[in-house]
Chains A and B, each alone.
Chain A
């Protein structure tokens, strides 16, 4: 997961209602391309044979604003539309896309995708299974309908709040983004389904300077909801949190290195699960046998305190989707239950080769990309310990309050997290801030080291982006406070506990 995002609270929005305006309903019921043309495209895709073909039609528009040096620096709008066509033949995938909706070019693109097959034409069912995805977007006010000035004003409000928070705040950079993506998916089994997806995100980066030191803080939030999201998540709050982090880190001591007891704060720390476990449960790695979780269903892969869930159905969340990018409904999928591995994240292609049903985990960045099994919102179920007891139980250790991002090698489970805000724990209390720490470990080992799980579950505020094979998709992560008995902290401190 590549991200410069942080944990925070995105309060549930009271009084939100689902979008039911006529315009919205219109969005959701009309396919982006005429069904007759879609059928012709599918026939061209199956013209050389194959087991299955699908067409992903997308029309996206978005707006973004950026703030720097106390002013709104740029305003952008973008429009992208195009079609991705896929043919599956045994283990083979043919994939082609083109921009725009020109019928002749779409047929040619479909024939290009068909290139991998070399048999008699395959069957294409009539597109009779016509549906519209349930509306997951908690939207009262369509962001696109809000005046540009009002949207950009969020940035100026945050800027003011960050500077007012502390005189040591030197730079505030902010970004606001909203997008609406219309999707139509048709396949050779006769499915024709439409979806309408909104997404928005507000993010601040603050640089503070003092005592000859410079530090950065980040905070933001967003999700699949309307502009009223910012009533519950005011920009002042986000920018102040970024300023708090930056100033709190000024004068931080160097991080102690070596193995120690580590407590993870709740919320955004859920990237631990995402990196250390989630990627290793994606069906493509499992099918190829390159994940260390291959063949481990039913085995104990974590401490019994660990129940890990991937849930694409949480309303309004950044990682949520009513249907995946193959048209399958997303699920609440228990991946690990009380430490026992229950199953994988499965897309159609890998599932069909592994005799597994899809879990609605087939995702793609856009029509320009092919489908891979991916996570949605991934989190650890709550335990019974209070956060106070968890921190209080540690005599000497490390408290990771906030993370920059992380990365994993799914083959051997090696992961790293950059700690954006960390503290020493001394005699059960958070004492000094420390800088430049990195957590490194092996996923399954770390989950076995989890020996306290908090009763304070929280999802991140909604700015995580996961990168895999060059494709970025929005995701959510979550965690209660968690104690890890032993984990390696990397840093620069000269005097070390474990000198060679």
Chain B
């Protein structure tokens, strides 16, 4: 918990900033409490425990930005710390857009979405020990070709944040998270190995997939991968599993970042209002999502959040802004400032997802004569500047509507602006793993490079 003593240190920082010449200042305090357990051979392999508390100070002196962070809350060191941050502003350029969010903006608030579960807060590490050992056992028992489990574990995190600034803002939020994952290793008779992972993360204990579900799904995935091979290069329909489609959502949101747009370093910079995707395609960032793992009523600058339809019915509807970039672009913050105590606000997303369509995922695959079903990818993904997309892919060959040969060592490439209009099927199976979600997606044609 962030106690009153930590808040007092924060207030001292604000007062010291003012007395040392800062026109505005903001303090962001984070407290985290975490444990995580991994298992091996029926026993605990690692048990990690941590608790951390840190403070970030952002201030403006004559329109110049300074930032510092520390984990030292000793009131006696506040003046020196603030002095270092104030001194740094001599180096930075004056900029009229260097301001805190307006006091009026800060006052309005949505009701905070629920992200704290007392049950998670009271779970002891014994829960994670049981879950990890169970998952290992279930995965190993799934199939004799599963030789070992590369990594299996579970953990919880309790998180507490406070933001206060020189305009009188003082707000708190707290969340709980718990998660579990399994990564079994399987090998065929020739000794060719594969690892596949499955994980789940939620804010509420009762919503997490059971250890059995996680282990079985991971085991199903890894055994299905055995015998994976290259395929010949070609142009073909590519079906993205919900988890892989979520990666596309992230790439699109990265290009809708108002900072990249302002610098014309995004391939979407001149596309606002344009139709860039089929009419049944929507991309939404929803910080108020019910029980979302990234839900919150205010962003990293204290600005109230709201649901943001980035792409709606195929049309590029808005860009994401924090206070600084919004001011430069002559618009208002969208409440999209992401943050940690050790970093300046930067534009990010919360619960980001591609809205579901109405096609059953089985039919999306079933309608393909020859294509690639992608279940796992490697590499960076989307080039925000150009929209070029080129990633290493693993998955399955689709032949006559059926998943057949497992595939690896191929790349899937295209350009997002060319790919989006070619999305010809959107699944009804919106799936969240963590804070990003998507349904199954099919792109009518992409370049697959293999042999």
Q: Are A74 and B65 in contact (CB under 8 A)?
A: yes
Query: Are B69 and A498 closer than 8 Å at their CB atoms?
Result: no
B contact face: mostly helix, strand, loop, or mixed: strand
Q: Does B43 interact with chain A (Cβ within 8 Å)?
A: yes
Q: Is B68 an interface residue (CB 8 A)?
A: yes
Is A79 touching B388 in the complex (CB atoms < 8 A)?
A: no
User: In this assembly, does B449 line the interface, its C-beta being within 8 Å of a C-beta of chain A?
Assistant: yes
User: Residue on A with the closest CB to B388?
Assistant: A436
Report chain A residues within 8 Å CB of B409. Answer: 414, 440-442, 488
Write the A483-499 contact mask toward B (1 if CB under 8 angstroms, else 0).
00000111111101111
A residues 71-125 with Cβ under 8 Å of B?
A: 71-82, 91-100, 109, 112-113, 115-116
Alpha-carbon distance between A316 and B215 when the two chains are bound, in angstroms: 46
Q: Does A247 contact B (CB under 8 A)?
A: no
Residue of chain B at shortest CB distance from A105: B51
CA distance A37 to B150 in the complex (A): 37
Please give the distance in Å from B304's CB to the nearest CB on chain A: 25
A195-220 interface with B by 8 A CB criterion: 207, 209, 213-216
* Cβ B264 vs Cβ A77 within 8 A: no
Q: Could you say which residues of chain A place their CB within 8 Å of the CB of B93?
A: 71-73
**Residues of chain B in range 348-390 having any CB-CB distance to chain A below 8 Å:** 378-380, 383, 385-386, 388, 390
| Interface size in chain A (residues, C-beta < 8 A) | 85
Q: Is B52 an interface position by the 8 A CB rule?
A: yes
Whole-angstrom distance between the Cβ of B339 and the nearest chain A Cβ = 14
Give the residue name and chain of the B residue nearest to A69 (CB): B263
Please tell me if the beta carbons of B44 and A92 are within 8 angstroms of each other in the complex.
yes
Residues of A near B150 (CB, < 8 A) are: 288, 290, 411
For residue A155, which residue of chain B has the nearest CB?
A: B91
Q: Shortest distance in angstroms between B438's beta carbon and chain A's nearest beta carbon?
A: 21
**Which residues of A lie under 8 Å from residue B46 when comparing CB positions?**
92-95, 370
B194 / chain A contacts, CB cutoff of 8 Å = 411-412
Q: Is B207 an interface residue (CB 8 A)?
A: no
Shortest distance between the CB of A472 and any CB in chain B (Å): 14
A312 within 8 A of B: no
User: In chain A between 29 and 80, which residues have their CB closer than 8 angstroms to a CB of chain B?
Assistant: 63, 65, 68-69, 71-80
Is A311 close to B, CB under 8 A? no
CB neighbours (8 Å) of B263 from chain A are: 68-69, 171, 173, 207
- B residues near A112, Cβ cutoff 8 Å: 49
Q: Would you call A289 and B380 a contact (CB within 8 A)?
A: no
Given contacts A100-B72, A257-B449, A488-B449, contact A500 B408 (CB under 8 A): no
Complex partner residue of B449 from A69, A92, A417, A491, CB under 8 angstroms: A491
- CA gap between A171 and B259 in the complex, in Å: 12
Residues of chain A within 8 A (CB-CB) of B51 are: 98-99
With A and B bound together, what is the CA distance between A492 and B65 in angstroms? 43
Tell me which of B275-283, B313-321, B410-418, B424-432 binds A: B410-418
Of A20-28, A321-329, A400-408, the one contacting chain B is A400-408
Stretch of B19-27, B228-236, B249-257, B330-338 with 4 or more beta carbons under 8 angstroms from chain A: B228-236
State whether A438 touches B390 (Cβ < 8 A).
Answer: yes
Select B410's contact among A65, A92, A440, beta carbons within 8 Å: A440
- Chain B 35-47, CB-CB to A under 8 Å as 1, else 0, gives 0000011011111
Asked whether, in the complex, the Cβ of A76 is within 8 Å of the Cβ of B449, the reply is: no
- Quick check: is B10 within 8 A (CB to CB) of the other chain? no
Residues of A within 8 A of B68 (CB): 76-79
B388 contact from A63, A91, A257, A492, Cβ within 8 A: A492
Contacting residue for A416 out of B66, B95, B234, B392, CB 8 A: B392
CB of A368 within 8 Å of the partner chain: yes
Decide if A74 touches B92 in the complex (CB within 8 Å). Answer: yes
- A420 CB to nearest chain B CB (Å): 10
Q: Using Cβ atoms and an 8 Å threshold, which residues of chain A touch B89?
A: 75
Q: A290 and B195 in contact (CB under 8 A), knowing A65-B91, A416-B411?
A: yes
Most chain A CB inside 10 Å of its own CB: which residue of B53, B92, B230? B92
Contact of A91 among B45, B72, B414 (CB under 8 A): B45
Chain A residue nearest in CB terms to B125: A115
Judged by a CB distance under 8 angstroms, whether A363 is at the interface is: no
Interface status of A243 (Cβ within 8 A of chain B) = no
Q: Is the CB of A72 within 8 A of B92?
A: yes
0/1 string, A388-432, CB within 8 A of B gives 1: 000000000000000011111101101111100000000000000
CB distance from A377 to the nearest CB of B (A): 23
**Which B residue sits closest to A109, measured CB to CB?**
B49
B81 within 8 A of A: yes
Partner of B451, one of A97, A259, A368: A259
Given the known inter-chain contacts A81-B72, A290-B195, please indicate yes or no for A91 contacting B43, CB distance below 8 A.
Answer: yes
Contact between chains at B451 and A436 (CB < 8 Å): no
- Chain A residues near B85 (CB, 8 Å)? 77
A170 contacts chain B at the CB level, 8 A cutoff: yes
With a cutoff of 8 Å between Cβ atoms, the chain A residues found around residue B383 in the complex are 216, 436
* Residues B72 and A411 in contact, CB atoms below 8 Å apart: no
Judge whether B449 and A490 touch: CB under 8 Å.
yes
Is B210 in contact with chain A by the CB < 8 A criterion? no
B232 and A418 within 8 A (CB)? no
**Is B185 among interface residues, defined by CB-CB distance under 8 A?**
yes
Complex Cα distance, B5 from A94, in Å, reads: 31
Contacts of B103 in A (CB 8 A): none
B54 adjacent to chain A (CB < 8 Å): yes
A69-B263, A71-B95 known; A148+B378 contact, CB < 8 A? no
Instruction: State whether A492 touches B413 (Cβ < 8 A).
Output: yes
Q: How far is the CA of A93 from the CA of B43 in the complex (A)?
A: 11
B48 with A414: CB separation less than 8 A: no
Task: State the Cβ distance, B370 to closest chain A Cβ, in Å.
Answer: 8
For residue B355, give the distance in angstroms from its CB to the closest CB of chain A: 27
Within 8 A of A (CB), among B121-176: 125, 147-148, 150
A78 and B65 contacting across the interface, CB-CB below 8 Å:
no
Q: List 25 A-B contacts (CB under 8 A).
A: A71-B93, A75-B88, A97-B50, A99-B52, A148-B88, A148-B90, A170-B264, A257-B411, A257-B447, A288-B148, A289-B148, A292-B193, A414-B408, A438-B390, A438-B391, A440-B409, A488-B449, A488-B450, A489-B449, A491-B411, A491-B447, A492-B388, A494-B235, A498-B233, A500-B234
Chain B residues near A (Cβ < 8 Å): 40-41, 43-54, 65-72, 81, 84-85, 87-93, 95, 125, 147-148, 150, 185, 192-195, 228, 230, 232-236, 263-265, 267, 342, 344, 378-380, 383, 385-386, 388, 390-392, 394, 408-415, 447, 449-451
Leading 7 A-B pairs by shortest Cβ distance: A490-B411, A500-B234, A416-B392, A71-B93, A490-B449, A75-B88, A257-B449
